[in-house]
Amino acid sequence: MFKPVLAFTLILALAACSPSKPAGDAASTAPAGGISGAGATFPAPVYAAWAAKYKTEAGTTMNYQAIGSGGGIKQIEAGTVDFGASDKPLKPEDLDKNGLYQFPTVMGGIVPLVNLPGIEPGKLKLSGPLLADIFLGKVKAWNDKAITALNPDLKLPSTPITVVHRSDGSGTSFLFTTYLSSQSPEWASKVGGSDAVEWPTGMGGKGNDGVAAFVKQTVGSIGYVEYAYAKKNGGTFALVKNKAGNFPQPAAPSFSAAAASADWNHAPGNYMLLLDQPGADAWPLAGATFILVHKTQTDAAKGAAVLKFFDWAYKSGDADAGSLDYVPMPDSVKTMVRQQWSAVQADGKPVYTAQ
């Protein structure tokens, strides 16, 4: 039997990361022992692709644990890693409370993943309110009239629906449940939108990999994963009706369409949600993923190493991001973020200045 991957650790060789303008002697050499990060599984495929190319400039190791956004937030708050990764952006007051700074790396999309033999990927159509009713346990079989009404051309079975959700604190869950809250007053009042909720029904898998694995082995199931995981596993994804009433295909163009109206310049703390955006081709379940670092660094070299890696990714990682159906950040946003990095300091000096 296929066993779900509950969590995975990426041990990756990364480049020597001295800053272009060091903050004292400590920042002028590669950090001993490497750098470490933990958090979101949503961006793990693209982070792995970036690191595989960046390791040709080896000299520092980076240990990234894809443990879920909730775990990443806890670890960076506790100072046990050099950076955290989260698909749930922290609000400015939460950043200030813990002395943190966040910046986006890429944007992507979440898709409903189903196990319905005979149904091809991208053929099943769902809506936000219908997804909420399914995850509330109100719609119990695949031939329910609410589903067949949206899919008159599909022969849907009477198979019972098995809901699969995240068991860990998850930014993917935050985006998914926040979207459901916007679509269903009942969901909003009974469950709400958060990285960890009291699920009304179903079984839990850890990480995007865990959810994808449970769906793969359970006929009649439905879960939600970042699109790269559905693509990687060859899973059957469903389409979701957007604000314009259309059913776009999930892919980089529809994720880009969702991000088109994002005004990052007026997003305090870089807090930005891209859910249910206007636009004929916008995918309704889109979001950015974020890196979290301490504004005051106790180790300038490690702080510089983290920023230098993501600076390299901004410059050289767009092709890999696109190949995995993530959307690179616009050049204007990258420029804005690089300017913000001066706020990450050690001994009163920026640890890294992008060129």
Q: What angle do CA 339, 341, 343 make, to 5 degrees?
A: 105
Question: 65 and 137 share a domain?
Answer: no
For 315-343, what is the mean pLDDT?
95
Mean of all residue pLDDT scores within the chain: 89
Does 47 lie in the same domain as 161? no
CB atoms within 10 A of CB 74: 17
Domain C-terminal end among 248, 281, 314 = 281
Instruction: Indicate if the pLDDT at residue 3 is higher than 70.
Output: no
47 found inside a domain: yes
| The pLDDT value given to residue 233 | 80
Residue 236 predicted with pLDDT over 50? yes
The per-residue pLDDT for range 247-258, each reduced to its tens digit, is 999 999 999 999
pLDDT at 17 over 90: no
User: Looking at the structure, do residues 145 and 237 belong to the same domain, yes or no?
Assistant: yes
Please check whether residue 198 lies inside any domain of the structure.
yes
Residue 77's CATH number: 3.40.190.10
Per-residue confidence at 69, pLDDT binned at 50, 70, 90?
Answer: very high
Residues 70, 12, single domain; the answer is yes
How many other CB atoms are found less than 10 A from the CB of residue 79? 11
Verify that 325 and 238 share a domain, yes or no. Answer: no
- Looking at the structure, tell me whether residues 159 and 250 fall in a common domain: yes
Whether residue 222 has pLDDT greater than 90: yes
* Cα 315 from Cα 328, distance rounded (Å): 10
Instruction: Specify the pLDDT at position 4.
Output: 40
Q: Is 197 a domain residue?
A: yes
Listed in sequence order, the residues at least 6 apart from 18 whose beta carbon sits closer than 8 Å to its beta carbon are 27, 28, 29, 30, 301, 304, 308
Q: How many domains does the chain have?
A: 2
Residue 239: HSE in the Cβ half-sphere, 13 Å Cα cutoff: 19
Which is higher by pLDDT, 14 or 206? 206
Residue 123, domain member (yes or no): yes
Q: pTM of the full predicted structure? A: 0.88
Q: Is residue 1 part of a domain?
A: no
pLDDT of 142 > 90? The answer is yes
The last residue of one of the domains, among 281, 310, 341, is 281
Listed residues 281, 315, 332: the one ending a domain: 281
Instruction: Quote the distance between the C-alpha of residue 270 and its chain's center.
Output: 15
pLDDT in tens, 274-328: 999 999 999 999 999 999 999 999 999 999 999 998 999 999 999 999 999 899 9
The residue segments making up the domain with residue 300 are 8-108+286-350
Question: In this predicted structure, what is the pLDDT of residue 30?
Answer: 52
Element (H, E) at 50: helix 44-54
Let me know whether 152 and 251 are in one domain: yes
Taking CA 221 as the corner, what is the angle to CA 225 and CA 85, rounded to the nearest 5 degrees? 20
Both 311 and 329 in one domain: the answer is yes
Closest CA to 293 of 77, 83, 95, 72: 83
For residue 350, the tally of other CB atoms under 10 A from its CB is 22
Using alpha carbons only, give the angle 97, 46, 53 rounded to the nearest 5 degrees. 115
The better pLDDT of the pair 213, 33 is held by 213
Answer yes or no: is 269 within a domain. no
Q: pLDDT value at position 12?
A: 40
**What local confidence, expressed as pLDDT, does residue 62 receive?**
73
| Within-domain flag for 355 | no
Residue 32 lies in a domain: yes
**pLDDT reported for residue 32:** 57
